[in-house]
Amino acid sequence: MAKMSKPRGKCAFCGRELTRGGMTRHLAACPERKEAIAAAEQAQGRRQQLHHLVAHDAGWGGYWLHLEMSGASNLFELDDYLRRIWLECCGHLSEFTTGGWGSRELSLRSKISTVLQPGTTLTHLYDFGTTSYTTIRSISVRRGKPLNEHPILLMARNNPLEFVCQECGQPATWLCTECIYEHEQDGLLCDTHAESHPHDDYGGPMPIVNSPRIGMCGYCGPAEPPY
C-alpha cells in the first residue's frame, strides 16, 4: 500500500495540527492544555503521577496516539485501550515486552509508573499469527490531578489517512486484501469500484478505518477510542 509522509493529527486541547514529533513538543507547551491542567488542580481528586505516552505502529510509524495515563493504572488498561482504538478483530492473545535484545514479557498487572518511566520503550504485540506490533514510548511524567475520570486521556491522534482508488484515483474508502495478497495491487477502492469489485475469496472489500491493523485478519474497525 502506498505510504505517505508524516501524517498530522489534531491537539485535543487547542485543535492545532502537527506531526507526531511536533505534537510531542507542542503538548509540553500548549497554553490550552496548561489551562486544563490548572483547572483540574482546583477540582476534587487525588494528585498522582501522570505519564505522557506515545504509541505508534512499529513499522511505518504513521499511525500514532499521544496519551496521558495514570501511573497507578496498569498495562491491562493500556492493552484494553489499544485493542479498542486500533486492534481488536477476534480476541487474539497479546503481550507487552521490554523490546530489543534479551526482551522479556511484562505482566499485565504491572503498574504504569513501574514499567514506563521517561525514556522507556515497550513493544506491544497483538495476535501471534498476523501480528500487529505497537511501540509505546514514555515521554515525560508530571504530578497532578487527572483531566478525566479514566485511566487514559487521548491528547492527539493521527488524522485518517487519505488513500486513492486504484481504478479511478478518487478517494478510497475500501480495501481488498485479495488484491494485495493475490494480485500485487494496492487494493484501495472508492465506493463505486468497491461495489463492482470482483474479488470475494478474502471476504470482499472492507471499510478503511483509522488503524494500523487495516488489511490484517479481516480487521474492520470501528477504531474508535473507548472513552
- Buried/exposed code over 39-57 (b: 16+ C-beta within 10 A; e: otherwise): ebeeeeeeeebbbbbbbbb
Based on the shown chain and the rule CB under 5 A, indicate whether residue 175 belongs to the binding site for Zn ion: no
State which residue, 89 or 116, has the beta carbon closest to Zn ion.
Answer: 89
Instruction: Choose which of 37, 67, 115, 190 interacts with Zn ion (CB under 5 A).
Output: 190
State in angstroms the smallest separation of the CB of 14 from Zn ion: 3
Looking at this protein, which amino acid is placed at residue 112?
I
Based on the shown chain and the rule CB under 5 A, indicate whether residue 167 belongs to the binding site for Zn ion: yes
State which residue, 112 or 194, has the beta carbon closest to Zn ion.
Answer: 194
Based on the shown chain and the rule CB under 5 A, indicate whether residue 179 belongs to the binding site for Zn ion: yes
Segments in 65-142 forming alpha helices (H): 75-82, 112-115
Based on the shown chain and the rule CB under 5 A, indicate whether residue 193 belongs to the binding site for Zn ion: yes
State in angstroms the smallest separation of the CB of 27 from Zn ion: 7
Which of the 8 DSSP states describes residue 172? P
Nine-digit cell at 124?
506491544
Stretch near Zn ion under the rule CB under 5 A, chosen from 38-46, 49-57, 148-156, 196-204: 196-204
- CA–CA separation, 190 and 219 (whole Å): 18
φ and ψ at residue 111, rounded to 5 degrees:
-75, 140
Which of the 8 DSSP states describes residue 164? B
Task: Give residue for cell 482504538.
Answer: 85
Q: Which residues bind Zn ion (CB under 5 A)?
A: 11, 13-14, 16, 30, 89-90, 165, 167-168, 170, 176, 178-179, 190, 193, 199, 217
